[in-house]
Amino acid sequence: MLAQVEAILNSRPLTALSTDPTDLLPLTPTHFLIGRPFTAPAAKDMTTIPGNRLQRYDIIEQMRQHYWQRWSKEYISELQTRTKWKSHQDDIQLNGLALIKDDNLPPLRWKLGRIIQVFPGADGICRVAELRTASGITRRAFSKICPLPIQPCDA
């Protein structure tokens, strides 16, 4: 169980792996440990099954899934900046890599997208972004996305 928790913690995206707008791969702590991202086999959702009906391996899988659900939500919430809607800040940059909040992802899976457009409201403040993901283009409110830090260019 501890090794699986370690894998979850080390799968978190730190920053974009490259500046290429078509590249959706993030740099993770796993890249420093093994040189590539962690992968996990697909598993059935065990979070709704009572623990007394499960075998030992399934109980460990259920604990891993519970840990993933809680940690991924809290991690994304911790990364998001809490700003007032009344102030205008340019913390969302075009072609920047961003995490997209999705509560239904399996462990070690992060939904990522490149910001391709932002939409200002009637008051001129941007609150919605359009992102290019691996499955197509989607729109999300700023409250549902979290831009990853951008590496400064030394030009």
Report the predicted TM-score, pTM, of the whole model to 2 decimal places.
0.74
Total domains present in the chain:
1
- Domain CATH code at residue 19: 2.30.30.140
Encode pLDDT of 3-56 as tens digits. 888 888 888 888 888 778 778 888 888 888 888 877 777 778 888 888 788 888
Encode pLDDT of 56-91 as tens digits. 888 888 888 899 888 888 888 777 765 555 555 556
Banded pLDDT at 132 (limits 50, 70, 90): very high
Residue 29: enclosing H or E segment and its boundaries? helix 29-33
Q: Which residue range is the domain that position 121 belongs to? A: 1-155
Stated length of the chain? 155
Geometric angle at alpha carbon 41, from 38 and 43, rounded to 5°: 130
